[in-house]
Amino acid sequence: MIEFCDVSFSYAGDENVDGVKNINLKIKDGECVLLCGESGCGKTTVTRLVNGLIPHFYGGNLIGSVKYDGRQVSDIPLYDTAMTTGSVFQNPGTQFFNTDTDSELAFGCENLGFGKEEIKRRVESTVKEMKLEPLLGKSIFNLSGGEKQKIACGSVNALLPKVMVLDEPSSNLDVASISDLRNIIMNWKKQGKTIIVAEHRLYYLVDVADRIVYMKDGIIKGEFTSEELINMPNEKRRKMGLRRPTFRLEKKMDYEISGQGKKLVLKDFCFSYRKKQEALNIPSAEFSTGHVIAVIGRNGAGKSTFARCVCGLEKRSGILDFGGKKLGTGDRLKTCYMVMQDTGHQLFTESVLDEVLLSMEKEDEKEALLILERLDLKEYIDRHPQSLSGGQKQRLAIASALAAKKEIFVFDEPTSGLDFKHMEEVAAILRELKEKGKTIFVITHDIELIESCCTDVLQLEAGRIADQYPLDEMGEQKLFDFFSNRKQEKK
Amino acid sequence: MQREFMSREGQIKGLILDPRTKLLLILMISVFVLGGAGGLKLFILRPILSFIPFVMLVTSGRVGQGMLYALAYSTCYFAQIVLLPEMTGMGSAFILIMSGAFCRFLPGFVTAYFFVSTTTVSEFMAAMERMHIPDKITIPLSVVFRFTPTVMEEANAIGDAMKMRGIGIFGRKRKKLFEYRIIPMITCSAKIGDNLSQAALTRGLGAPVKRTNICNIGFGFWDAVIICICILVVVWSIAYM
Amino acid sequence: MDMNVTQAEAGRLGGKDLITIGVYTVIYIVIISVFGALGFIPIFIPLTAVFCPLVGGIPFMLYLTKTKKFGMITIMGTLIGVIMFVMGMGYWIAIVGFISGLIADLVMKAGNYSSAKLSVLACGFFSMWDFGNLMPFFVGREAYLATLEENYGAEYVANLSSYMPMWMMPVLLAATFIFGILGGLLGRAMCKKHFERAGIV
């Protein structure tokens, strides 16, 4: 049993990250608890208190006690906790120690000095149980996000812990990989493991979880059963900042389209990486300004290649004609802008204001402040860009693009790991860009985002356009079918 | 290169060598080819040693890279021997220095490349353990191998972002170029490093027990061949001195 | 009540420390190799003694904020030496890397790993690893030059010697130290300007 007794924690030296206050929580053996709430509500902190990262990795002020089977977690060194509690993290790419899958599966057992035969036995049974055979013997740099997350789960599983702690494990996964993740969690539950998941996406876990704990501002604000959450009125749920609890379409979209109707035409839009087969092959396609186009498709369908070619990051990729003017690589770099998945890569200066000024041909502070105000960043003008939260960084990246008078925007998974409120904010910004007559491409797996701001869908498959349709009623159904099919797809 | 960094996918066929043999080869090339040990009397030895990485590249299926290496090496080598007596002055000195430097650096560099693209982190750790290198060196060193491609990826992404904002040697803000490039790189890499630590620590890294390594490494026929060559080289050089 | 247990666990290097060493070694090497690549053009080799310590100061000063135990800096110096050796920079560097790391570690220890002035000094000593790259030009120089002379003729050797006369040795050694100190100051400024405010210190 895991027992939180009046636990409060605040992180040392970092006021931006929120701790927790007066947490009282008992989790019985074999229970599956889903922690939900807005970003910064403290759900991640709760997971860290269970797996011992607090206080052994994150220093700070800890009051109260967290006990596992009567022992204080803070008294047990991390390598002992590792035997009983397994952890899976948000970003699949950054939790690997090895570079090949086989060694990664054995990594935990090796660290704890188990015998060779024992390790082999455990790895083999994990592989069989989780159907990892196709992933064996691969380099982790060749795996998709979903495959990496599977290996991460497998590596933890080989330690046979009784408790599993998952911190936003679905953030960077597509629909099909999320289904796989769900199966893994279901399986663990069947084996009687105690499972604690902190998550924004609720739909895939709602019927797995025994209890759903809702947190806000570091405090446990309520507890629900799955039925209660599913039957909760949309209004109330949105106010709580929670994402949709079931996989469904919720509201009609608006098809409002603005802009002067400039055309963006692609011709012979092909590209292949060195020595690889063609990653992109679009004989011709046409888009209009003032549209938000959702770019969907499975892993490796060519979505990011498409984005890179549009933005001029790849040379010799065919013809891009914007409003009757052919744009070469250099012009594309000037006209287009990609908001990257990790926006930390595209912020260079030492303050939010400087970041916007940097983008301007002629530095104009007044204009910069106006842009920042519109994107809700005015109160942060002196902050260091890298210290902002994920959503704020994203908005700053957009602000800098607006300052540079960019016309075509490409967003790469802008809502991965965002809660409902922040997803809405992104959608609002996309709508605003659309109203300004910009052309926007959004690479995304997030059906809620598509629903709330996109006007068109571009579906890629093996580098080709599989389908392109406006999001009217028919389009809506098509989109929903696409995601439902992907959900059922077994990898 | 990133995709085959520290992986066994990088080598399916050809001479499968123990990591220790590869390290020995790097040592030999470093001492004799780069370091120039043995002086002029052993000059014939250098091309022989430099030939080994070529064989390894070609047999492991990297024919193109092998050919490129052979071409670059022999061009430089013959440039020194054939061309130079014909030329005088600064130009010749420059070419001489360049080709001399290439002949010295290239074999070691190629061997190092072969090492990192055909050895997994786990094999490397096993090899270090067999050589009784303490964990305090082995663990950070394997993090180095694991983390290098990640940092390079970060650096590339930042480079892309800079292009889209028109910052560059031929663009704007030349003075601050370096700062803009490395600050986000350090910040992002440090954060990723933290994640990596957490994931490793929650799986028991640093436990005060003897770490197991299930990786099977061991010497085979080709290891014996390479080791014999290395011994011959050492004996030869001692005999000459 | 400060519960920062790992930090307080005196002396022994834990898993977290070992990973930190690895991570910062990579960052350090990637950054200095931007300028280290200059060394492929032999005429610029002396310049690496200026640029590498200077830019290396930035990641190194950030690294120093993470080191609270004896050994971390020594190991980093050793690793840099070993990696440079593997990448084909000769064997001297492995030894020099270890020694300069050790000295820097001792300097930091004298200030209990918290003195700002001593960190800059430590950065100076640490940067002297770079001299290991230049050692082959001076140690065993006679034999090396003799080989070259047989091979390339006296003109070439005279040329090369004029690029790298013997008196350059102490100059370059001093340069790595002085520019290491300057790099340390630069690094400290960057820490204040960026890293502290970005919340990664």
User: What are residue A65's DSSP bridge partners?
Assistant: A5
**H or E stretch at B151:** helix B135-164
Give the pLDDT of residue A258. 58
Mean pLDDT, to the nearest integer, of A428-443? 90
- Containing C52, the helix (H) or strand (E) segment is helix C45-64
Residues of chain A with pLDDT > 70: what percent? 95
List pLDDT tens digits, range C126-181. 999 999 888 877 776 666 666 666 656 666 667 667 767 778 888 999 999 999 99
Q: Which contiguous run of DSSP H or E holds residue A477?
A: helix A473-488
Mean pLDDT of A194-198: 96
Among A323, A282, A324, A327, smallest CA distance to A301 is for A282
Tokens (6 digits) for A317 = 């990729």
Residue A358 lies in a domain: yes
Mutation for testing the A interface, residue in C2, C5, C9 having most A CBs under 10 Å: C5
Q: Which of C23, C60, C31, C33 is nearest to C133 (CA)?
A: C33
Pick the last residue of a domain from A239, A271, A305. A239
Rounded to an integer, what distance in angstroms lies between the CA atom of residue A390 and that of residue A410?
Answer: 17
3-state secondary structure of A432: helix
Q: Cβ–Cβ contacts within 10 Å for residue A20, how many?
A: 26
DSSP states of B42-91 = GTTHHHHHHHHHHHHHHHTT-HHHHHHHHHHHHHHHHIIIIIGGG--HHH
Q: In what order do the strands lie in the sheet with A456-461?
A: A336-339, A408-412, A439-443, A292-296, A456-461, A464-470
Mutation pick from A49, A350, A389 vs chain C, by most beta carbons of C within 10 Å, is A350
Residues A177 and A299 in one domain: no
First-last CA distance in chain A: 35
What's the pLDDT band for C102 if we cut at 50, 70, 90?
Answer: very high
Closest partner residue to C194 (CB to CB) among B30, B43, B183 is: B183
pLDDT at A8 (0 to 100): 93
pLDDT number for residue A12: 81
What DSSP state is assigned to residue A19? -
pLDDT bucket at A17, cuts 50 / 70 / 90: low
Residue A216, C-beta contacts closer than 8 angstroms, at least 6 positions apart: A37, A38, A41, A240, A241
In this structure, is residue A247 part of a structural domain? no
Confidence at residue B40, expressed as pLDDT on a 0 to 100 scale: 60
Whether the per-residue pLDDT at A418 is higher than 60: the answer is yes
The tens digit of pLDDT for each residue in B168-225 reads 777 677 778 888 989 999 999 999 999 999 999 999 998 888 888 888 888 888 899 9
Q: Please compute the mean of the pLDDT values over residues A479-484 and round it to a whole number.
A: 88
Assess contact for A220 and A42: CB atoms under 8 A. Answer: no
Q: Which of A175, A205, A239 marks a domain boundary?
A: A239
Q: Which chains have at least 3 CB atom pairs separated by less than 8 Å from chain C?
A: A, B
Contacts of B2 in chain C (CB under 8 A): none
Which chain C residues touch A if contact means CB-CB below 8 Å? Answer: 1-7, 15-16, 193-194, 197-200
B216 touches chain A (CB under 8 A): no
Residue A235 and residue A268 in one domain: no
Using the Cβ of C44 and the Cβ atoms of chain B, whether some distance falls under 8 Å is answered with no
Q: So what's the pLDDT on residue C6? A: 41
Give the model confidence (pLDDT) of A274-322 as tens digits.
766 678 899 999 998 889 999 998 888 889 899 999 999 998 888 999 9
pLDDT above 70 as % of chain C: 80
Contacts of B164 in chain A (CB under 8 A): 311-313, 333, 336-338, 346
Which DSSP letter does residue A250 get?
-
Instruction: Report, as an integer, the average pLDDT of A59-67.
Output: 91
Residue A331 has pLDDT above 80, yes or no: yes
Q: In the prediction, which pLDDT does A436 show?
A: 86
Q: Is B115 on the interface with C (CB under 8 A)?
A: yes
The whole-angstrom distance between residue C16's C-alpha and the CA centroid of its chain comes to 22
Q: Is the pLDDT of residue A44 over 80?
A: yes
Q: For residues A187 and A331, state if they share a domain.
A: no
Q: Are A388 and A352 in contact (CB under 8 A)?
A: yes
In 3D space, the residue among A8, A20, A5 whose CA is nearest the CA of residue A63 turns out to be A8
| Among A16, A55, A384, beta carbon nearest to C194 | A384
Q: What is the mean pLDDT of residues A379-396?
A: 88
CA quadruple A404, A408, A410, A415: dihedral sign: positive
Segment A124-152 shows an average pLDDT of 91
Do A287 and A232 reside in the same domain of the chain?
no
- Among candidates B198, B200, B210, C25, which has minimal Cα distance to A103? B200
Q: How far apart are CA A378 and CA A353, in angstroms?
A: 9
What's the rounded mean pLDDT across residues A134-157? 91
**Between the CA of residue A336 and those of A236, A408, A431, C45, what are the distances in Å?**
39, 5, 18, 41
CB contacts of B31 in chain C (<8 Å) are 91
Quote the pLDDT of residue B86. Answer: 63
Same domain, A272 and A177: no
Please give the Cα distance from A172 to A199 (Å, whole number): 12
pLDDT of residue A126: 95
Q: Looking at residue B236, what is its pLDDT?
A: 83
Reported as a single tens digit per residue, the pLDDT across A214-271 is 999 899 999 999 999 999 998 899 889 898 888 777 665 566 665 567 889 998 888 8
The domain spanning residue A464 has which CATH number? 3.40.50.300
Q: Which of A363-372, B29-38, C81-90 has the lowest mean pLDDT?
A: B29-38
> pLDDT category, A65, cuts 50, 70, 90?
very high
Question: What is the mean predicted confidence (pLDDT) over A47-66?
Answer: 92
* Nearest CA-CA partner of B203 in C34, A249, A96: A96
- What burial letters (b/e) apply to A50-84, b meaning 16+ CB within 10 Å? bbbbbbbbbbbebebebbbeeeebbebbbbbbbbb
- Could you tell me if A391 and A425 are in contact, meaning their C-beta atoms sit under 8 angstroms apart? yes
Q: Which one of B166, B183, B202 has the shortest CB-CB distance to A78?
A: B202
The sign of the torsion formed by the CA atoms of A96, A97, A103, A106 equals negative
Q: What are phi and psi of A465, to 5 degrees?
A: -80, 115
CB contact under 8 A, B143 and C22: yes
If pLDDT is split at 50, 70 and 90, which confidence band does B2 have? very low
Last residue of a domain, one of A177, A205, A239: A239
Section A198-224 average pLDDT: 92
Side chain identity at residue A27, one-letter code: I
- Residue B42 has a pLDDT of 66
Query: Residue C31 and residue A4: Cα distance in Å, rounded?
Result: 45
Strands (E), A52-147: 60-68, 71-72, 85-88
Residue B200's closest CA among A369, A342, A87, A132? A87
Q: pLDDT value at position C5?
A: 41
**Measuring CA to CA, how many Å separate A466 from each of A296, A297, A298, A460, A480?**
10, 9, 11, 5, 16
Confidence of residue C2 (pLDDT cuts 50, 70, 90): very low
Residue A211, burial from CB neighbour count under 10 angstroms (0-12, 13-18, 19+): middle
Residues A235, A272, single domain; the answer is no
Tell me which of C42 and B126 has the higher pLDDT.
Answer: B126
- Range list of β-strands (E), A396-452: 408-412, 439-443
CA A334 to chain B, closest CA, distance in angstroms equals 7
State whether B121 and A344 contact (CB < 8 Å). Answer: no
Q: Chain A residue with minimal CA distance to C201?
A: A13
Number of domains chain A is built from:
2
Contact state of A89 with B195 under an 8 Å Cβ cutoff:
yes
Instruction: Calculate mean pLDDT across residues A52-77.
Output: 91
A268 burial (CB, 10 Å; 0-12 / 13-18 / 19+) is exposed
Confidence check: pLDDT of A33 > 90: yes
Return the minimum-mean-pLDDT range out of A89-103, A295-309, B111-125, C33-47.
C33-47
B77/C115 Cα distance (integer angstroms): 52
Question: How many angstroms separate the CA atoms of B225 and B93, rounded?
Answer: 39
Token output for C113: 């790993």
Shared-domain flag, residues A219 and A302: no
| Orientation angle between helical segments B19-28 and B221-240, nearest 10 degrees | 20
The secondary element (H helix, E strand) that includes residue C172 is helix C168-190
Lowest mean pLDDT of A460-464, B225-229, C162-166, name the range.
C162-166
Is the same domain home to A49 and A82? Answer: yes
Q: What is the mean pLDDT of chain A?
A: 89
- All residues of chain B having their beta carbon less than 8 Å from the beta carbon of residue C41 are 98
Q: Which residues of B touch C183 (CB under 8 A)?
A: none
pLDDT for the residue A293? 94
Residues A220 and A291 in one domain: no
Q: Could you tell me the two tokens for B128?
A: 């270090």
**Predicted confidence band at C57 (pLDDT cuts at 50, 70, 90)?**
very high
Question: Does the ipTM exceed 0.90?
Answer: no
Q: Give the residue from A339, A287, A279, A289 showing the smallest Cα distance to A458.
A: A287
**Structure confidence at residue A256 (pLDDT):** 62
β pairing state of A292-296 and A456-461 = parallel
What's the pLDDT score for residue C84? 86
Residues 6-25 of A with CB under 8 A from B: none
Domain that holds residue A274: 263-488
Provide the pLDDT confidence category of residue B158 given band limits of 50, 70 and 90: very high
**In the 8-state DSSP scheme, what is residue A145?**
H
Q: Which chains touch B (3 or more CB pairs under 8 A)?
A: A, C
Compare all CA atoms of chain C with the CA of B85 and give the residue at the minimum distance: C152
* Higher local confidence (pLDDT), B181 or B92: B181
Tokens at residue A344, please?
A: 């930390």
Strand partners of residue A34: A197, A212
Q: Give a yes or no: residue A168 inside a domain.
A: yes
Mean pLDDT of B19-40: 80
DSSP A278: E
In A, minimum Cα distance to C5 occurs at A56
The pLDDT, as a whole number, for residue C8 is: 42
CA angle A485/A488/A489 to nearest 5° reads: 85
d(CA B200, CA A94): 10
Whether A234 and A287 share a structural domain: no
Chain B residues lying within 8 Å of A147, measured CB to CB: none
Lowest-pLDDT range of A90-94, B142-146, B172-176: B172-176
Average pLDDT value for chain B: 82
If asked whether residues A318 and A226 sit together in one domain, one would say no
Q: How confident is the model at residue C118 (pLDDT cuts 50, 70, 90)?
A: very high
